Chain A
Amino acid sequence: MNPVPGPSSTVSGWRDSDLWYSFKRSPVIVTAACVLVTLILGAVFAPLISPYTPFDPGSLNLMNGFTEPFARNAFTNEFFLLGTDDQGRDVFSTILFGLRVSLFVGISAVLFAMVLGVALGLIAGYVGGWLDGLIMRIADVQLTFPSIMIAMLLFGIGRGLLPPDLRDEMAIWVLIIAIGLSEWVQFARTVRGATMVERSKEYVEAAHLIGLSRWAIMLRHILPNISGPILVIATITLALAIIAEATLSFLGVGAPKTEPSLGTLINVGRQFILSGEWWILLFPSVTLLALALSVNLFGDWLRDMLNPKLR
């Protein structure tokens, strides 16, 4: 019995599936999903929603600096929902754009890790032999280190390889590659295990007998059958990647100041913690927490639904 709904399940099947039923039954998950959807929409439509353009120096007015949230500025009488930072940037707008960077980096890094991990896992599990040994040894060595440290190290190496004038410009891409490379092992290990199980099944033998190539069997027959666990790991890894990105950016080795993510914003806000401008720190932190928590909850739920064995 395969608990994972195959690609053949239709829309009407989706309506009375277990997945939808359990989704409706759990208020926590519905809340998490609502928060997540709101945050994603906010990030996608940031240029339309945000009332100000925080990263256009021309539109900034230093007189607006340190405006308190929910209040009008005493000098310019302009209104900022969540206040402004030292340079008079609207905190609400910077959060929307920061969310955009955080989500973009997180999702891209997970996609990169997924493609790499799934490809290596399929090869290791299906082809086996010395390739399997090599890939799994590399994975073992990498697992000795926490992934956040590997991401930092790779970010440093990536910066070192770039010419100094490109370092800030390319920082986002270096960040994506660094986090992606630090998270592929989980994908590879799971896919390898699942592939080895599938390989011994009859349909693979049949496909082999009718003369399909290895690649066709791997990509068109085995891959769809192991997509459930891959999806679960992708969701859980997304939460990890978002936190990793925020941590790196917070430490100053991630998104540059010109293209800040939530982590960068929290780092900026921390500088005002002693002088009492709490809103510059609080609102980005709450946004990051909401994002991480909702992705985590959603991932846990998906894991329990799709593959009870992974628990």
Chain B
Amino acid sequence: MLAFIIRRLGQALFVLLTVAFFSFAMFKFMGDPLENLLGQEATNLDRAELEERLGLNDPIVVQYVRYLARALEGDFGVSYRAGIPVAEVIMQRLPATLELAFISGMLAVVFGVLLGIYTAIRRDGFVANLIMTSSLIGVSLPTFLIGVGLIWAFSVNLGWLPSFGRGDTAPFFGVELAVMTWDGIQSLILPSITLGLYQMTLIMRLVRSEMLEVLRTDYIRFARARGLTDRALHFSHALRNTLVPVITITGVQLGLIIAFAIVTETVFQWPGVGLLFINAVNFVDIPVMAAYLLLVGIIFVTINLVVDLLYFVVDPRLRAERSGSEGP
């Protein structure tokens, strides 16, 4: 168990260092920082002097370590476009993205699991079949088309919900959140459905197939023979045993929500880090791109790590096997 955790931590650290190296390389090899700092009348001597002063002549490894140290302090340089420190821009935008990702994730998990259970229990029912068929189309639909379609239906035709922006926000423990105002909640509905729909479909299909698998096993048949009610059977016996794969995939999918937020945020002009990133790509704002890469890398690696460790907590069999083969 301990050996596994240590190995897993080492792996995560390796991935993070690689991502950080890419981020550093973008910073270092793209765009000439001296050009920005010196202006046109600089001589070669000025140039050499500044290079020496900024430490650009040091070995790459030294520069990389220095970059890491600065990143740990939250210093990612200055955005070419906004002219203010990248860390500041990102911190300004991060709550909006996390809020959207969190709400979408909740929607996806709650509805995904519920619909998954329903379609598994009512396997041949008309509604269950309808849900399954429409989910197939949902998987093939690109996210941005879902967003545009929802805007067309609910904002343009019905006029019920706003089509862009975050609406009013109100502070919640010092963080400005949209869920704190009615206007903000209305603005949240369409983007969070757009973002959560794909993940919901995946979770639903996974729960369904796992449930069907478990419902076929002997212990379920035995429980049924013992005369347990359907409710006890489905929820306390079957559902619990489907949780392991569901937790793994769900965890990883929740990480992906942060990335897919780029698309949703652009469609709805949601002022989060995804929109910031896409604008950075458009205007070749390297410091912002590099910092975003590092930020998302940290989020993904952490989620993967937590999911792997959860696996152990949830499935006692794994613990037993590991400690049997590796333990003292």
Residues in A lying within 8 Å of B, measured CB to CB: 137, 140-141, 144-146, 148-149, 152-153, 155-157, 159-161, 239, 243, 246-247, 250-253, 263, 266, 270, 273-274, 278, 281, 285, 288-289, 292-293, 296
**CB-based contact B31/A160 at 8 Å:** yes
Main secondary structure of the interface of B (DSSP, over half): helix
**Is B297 an interface position by the 8 A CB rule?**
yes
On chain B, the number of residues with a Cβ less than 8 Å from chain A's Cβ atoms is 39
In contact, B281 and A145 (Cβ under 8 angstroms) = no
Within the complex, what minimum Cβ distance (angstroms) separates B104 from chain A? 15
With CB as the reference atom, state the residue of chain B lying closest to A267.
B144
A144 near B297 (CB under 8 angstroms)?
Answer: yes
B282 x A247 contact (CB < 8 A): no
B15 in contact (CB, < 8 A) = yes
- Which residues of B lie under 8 Å from residue A288 when comparing CB positions? 142, 145
Contact A140 B15 (CB under 8 A): yes
CB distance from A281 to the nearest CB of B (A): 7
Point out which of A155, A253, A278 has the most chain B C-beta atoms below 10 A from its C-beta. A253
Mark B residues whose CB is within 8 Å of A. 14-15, 18-19, 26, 30-31, 137, 140-145, 148, 151-152, 156, 163, 256, 259-260, 262-263, 266, 277-278, 280-282, 284, 286, 289, 293, 296-297, 300-301, 304
Interface of chain A: mostly helix, strand, loop or mixed: helix
A-B contact number at CB 8 A: 96
Given the interface contacts A148-B259, A251-B278, does A289 sit within 8 Å of B148 by beta carbon?
Answer: no
The answer to whether B148 touches A292, judged by C-beta atoms less than 8 angstroms apart, is no
CB distance from A191 to the nearest CB of B (A): 23
Docked complex Cα distance between A148 and B31 (Å): 24
**Inter-subunit contact A160/B300 (CB<8 Å):** no
Chain B hits for A281, CB < 8 A: 148, 152
- The complex places the Cα of A250 from the Cα of B262 at a distance, in Å, of 12
* CA–CA, A144 and B144, complex, Å: 23
- Least CB separation from A250: chain B residue: B144
B28 to chain A, nearest CB (A): 12
Q: Are A157 and B26 touching (Cβ within 8 A)?
A: yes
Assess the B31–A285 pair: CB atoms within 8 A.
no
Q: How distant is the Cα of A149 from the Cα of B280 in the complex, in angstroms? A: 13
